[in-house]
Copies of this chain bind each other. A is one copy, B any other.
């Protein structure tokens, strides 16, 4: 998406056959999209991929090279289909190794002898570190990749705990609700965009809605620029088209 060079970018990789096979609806990517937007970060890609080590590796490595931050969701438990740590390690060309602190945390949590499944959860890519709240919700970070579990309650708690690590300047948003169809305003939108090429302008028709037909979203990190673009667009449209301006 269009953004200035100071804006941080991000991508998300959702790992899980359960999402692709329609058994589970992914709520983590909508959550992360909203959180990143509120933090002024431009989310550029979401990829939902199966539990396959090589594919996880290539997807994560590609995104890590293209964007400032990568967030993965899922595949970090103790079972056969949890391959994210191996995938991330594969992508960066390193082995997975036992993390001593993580092993100790697991040992304290289970209060008993560690099985092979417990030990699997202490294996992370070589060079990765624990970040965030170590006692309750430590997150594995490998370079610019945050490796998060798929369980929504834990994913969300971890993202909230990591916010300071990715937050930047906010986006400003104005919205215009319009009573006519997109075809009747498309020319006005193009004219405003020609005058304000840096404006992030969205046009979203609402199906069978009595209140309004189209929601226009105007965004910028520069509030003065945004106000000028809003005034420009408002001046072009007949007043009768406008249901409401949301600031």
A contact set with B: CB distance below 8 Å: 1, 14, 17-26, 29-30, 33-38, 42-51, 77-81, 110, 115-118, 120-121, 151-154, 171, 182-187, 189-190, 193, 200-205, 207-208, 217, 219
Contact = CB atoms under 8 A, between A and B. Distances in A.
A204 B115 contact: no
25 contacts: A1-B20, A1-B21, A17-B202, A18-B204, A19-B33, A22-B36, A22-B37, A23-B37, A23-B202, A26-B30, A29-B48, A46-B46, A47-B47, A77-B203, A79-B182, A79-B185, A80-B189, A80-B201, A80-B203, A81-B203, A115-B184, A115-B187, A117-B184, A118-B183, A153-B208
* Count of identical protomers in the assembly: 2
B34 A22 contact: yes
A14 B29 CA distance: 13
Contacts of A78: 182-183, 186
Contact of A21 (B33, B116, B183): B33
Contacts of A30: 22, 25-26
B183 A117 contact: yes
Given A43-B21, A46-B47, A186-B117, A151 B205 contact: yes
B186 A50 contact: no
A23 B218 CA distance: 12
B20 A33 contact: yes
Nearest to A206: B151
Contact of A20 (B43, B51, B79, B116): B43
Nearest to A202: B18
Contacts of A22: 30, 33-38, 43
Contacts of A208: 153
A178 to B, nearest CB: 11
Contacts of A38: 22
Given A79-B186, A183-B115, A201-B81, A21 B37 contact: yes
Given A18-B202, A81-B203, A202-B23, A187 B34 contact: no
Contact of A207 (B20, B26, B151): B151
A19 B202 CA distance: 11
